[in-house]
Amino acid sequence: MNWWLLLFVCFIVFLTPLAPKAEETYTFDLSEIEKKPYHIDGYVEVKPLIYQPRADSSLYQLKYPKQDLGRSLEEAIFKLQLEGTYESGNALLHFKTNTNYKLSRLGDRESTDLYEGYFSLKPSPAWQIDVGKKTFKWGKGYAWNPAAFLDRPKDPEDPELGMEGVFALSANYIKSFSGNLKTFSPSFVLQPIYDHINDEFGKKNYINAAAKLYFLFYDTDIDLMVLTGGSYTSRFGADFSRNLTPNWEIHGEIAFIRDSQKSIISPIGTVTSVERDTTNYLIGSRYLTERDTTYLIEYYHNDTGFTGDEMKEFFLFAYNAYRKYTETSNDTDLKKALQLFNGQYGRPSPTRDYLYLRISQKEPFDILYFTPAITTILNLNDRSFTISPEVSYTGLTNFDIRLKISMNSGSSESEYGEKPFAAKIELRIGYYF
């Protein structure tokens, strides 16, 4: 398949204007503006991708030991999201589903997940009780949220991507005041972890408890969080966000985790378990200039992550495992390395210190609905980085079009230097209905 032709066809299809309609006579119908008890929204997306493989990287050899991907790998991902709400009195039922279908010469794959599905009850204007699957969105960071104890970790390379929620029972109370403390809102959460219910989050057969206290104090948003239970070691967090001027905002998060555990592997395959108290934190700022240029910068310290030397030892073990496999056909170490990668070594931002910078310009040169941007993530421990220029266009009703190029750079045995792909080009064309 000629993938550049597919990109061209997608542009033609979605940018071709609709045929003009005949003039219509408009009438006023009161039923059209009455609020309906339900609504269903949807989003469809086609995303062709082209990858540039890096065959000499340890992660390429680890993930594709029996394959030669050639000079490029072409894939296409089709997405369908459905979201609906039914409301009756003080009760509400909400759902959100996500279906992905990937076309690839490595194998087609389809997955359908329930992102959210919960029942919400408001016994009074101040109280809300939710039960089911939902995202909590704790934390004030954009690329990372170290204090988001309940949610799945973000992908810092695409932090606005919708995430799957967790099953929980939660209650929220909100109270407003007229003094310096303008709002106080406590939230309480019970999260069960059993077979087929949040079973990827921790030890099974426990019900964990979490709480968050929100304050709007002197025009500063402040949250205090806690999570404890048999599935987790106890952890405590806090965040804040404040506008210093109408165009300048600062934010931060901190999380204390007791007895955090990680497994470290040596180049010869010896695994050592380490347990210690850790402190993760983030500080960031967003600034909008008079010319509509937005600067977003964040520094993230991940104390639960690996040091640069610990990551190097993993990459060396992966190299050694692949060499052993090619020489003897023994894939025992290869499977061991892949298992570790699918665990802590392969999670987003696996090392200690990162810097995130994003610069976007709204409608440069008076080009309406057009926004170019550039994003970079720098691993401060090994000096490797990824950089992603992109352009987006929103001039067509309900359409969202984005072209993005991501390039990974770094020395051998560094995070971005060992990525299986040196570059990626993606075209995202989405339609809301």
What is the per-residue pLDDT across 171-218, written as a single tens digit (0 to 9) for each? 999 999 999 999 999 999 999 999 999 998 889 999 999 999 999 999
CA angle 413, 154, 401 (to 5 degrees): 100
pLDDT at 5: 41
**Cα 182 to Cα 125, 177, 237, 242, 340, distances in angstroms:** 17, 5, 22, 14, 47
Mean pLDDT of 234-251: 97
pLDDT at 20: 38
CA distance linking residue 344 with residue 311, whole number of Å: 11
- CB within 8 A of 206, min separation 6: which ones? 192, 193, 229, 230, 231
Band of pLDDT at residue 36, cut at 50, 70 and 90: confident
Phi/psi of residue 146, each to 5°? -60, -25
pLDDT at 25: 46
Within 135-229, strands assigned E span: 166-173, 175-176, 181-193, 206-217, 220-229
Band of pLDDT at residue 11, cut at 50, 70 and 90: very low
Mean pLDDT of 412-433: 97
Say if residue 16's pLDDT is above 80.
no
- Map out the domains of the chain as residue ranges: 37-432
CA dihedral 20, 21, 25, 26 (to 10 degrees): -80
Mean pLDDT of 300-317: 96
Mean pLDDT of 305-327: 95
Phi/psi of residue 22, each to 5°? -65, 155
Say if residue 8's pLDDT is above 60.
no
Say if residue 24's pLDDT is above 90.
no
Say if residue 89's pLDDT is above 70.
yes
The DSSP call for residue 267 is T
CA distance linking residue 404 with residue 375, whole number of Å: 10
165 against 201, higher pLDDT: 165
Summarize pLDDT for 77-87 with one digit per residue, the tens: 999 999 999 99
Find the range with the poorest average confidence among 24-28, 147-151, 289-293. 24-28
Topology, domain 37-432: Porin (2.40.160)
**Hey, what amino acid is at 201?**
F
Average confidence score pLDDT of the chain = 92
Q: What percent of the chain has pLDDT over 70?
A: 92
Band of pLDDT at residue 29, cut at 50, 70 and 90: low
> Could you tell me if 225 and 149 are in contact, meaning their C-beta atoms sit under 8 angstroms apart?
yes
> Could you tell me if 395 and 383 are in contact, meaning their C-beta atoms sit under 8 angstroms apart?
no
**Which residue blocks in 16-117 are alpha helix, DSSP H?**
58-63
pLDDT at 201: 87
CA distance linking residue 82 with residue 42, whole number of Å: 4
Summarize pLDDT for 354-400 with one digit per residue, the tens: 999 999 999 999 999 999 999 999 999 999 999 999 999 999 999 99
Mean pLDDT of 314-330: 95
pLDDT at 124: 96
Compute CA 379 distance to the chain's CA centroid, rounded to the nearest angstrom.
18
Mean pLDDT of 412-416: 96
Mean pLDDT of 4-8: 42
At residue 429, the 3 state secondary structure works out as strand
CA distance linking residue 94 with residue 365, whole number of Å: 42
pLDDT at 32: 55
Band of pLDDT at residue 17, cut at 50, 70 and 90: very low
Say if residue 402's pLDDT is above 90.
yes
> Could you tell me if 383 and 392 are in contact, meaning their C-beta atoms sit under 8 angstroms apart?
no
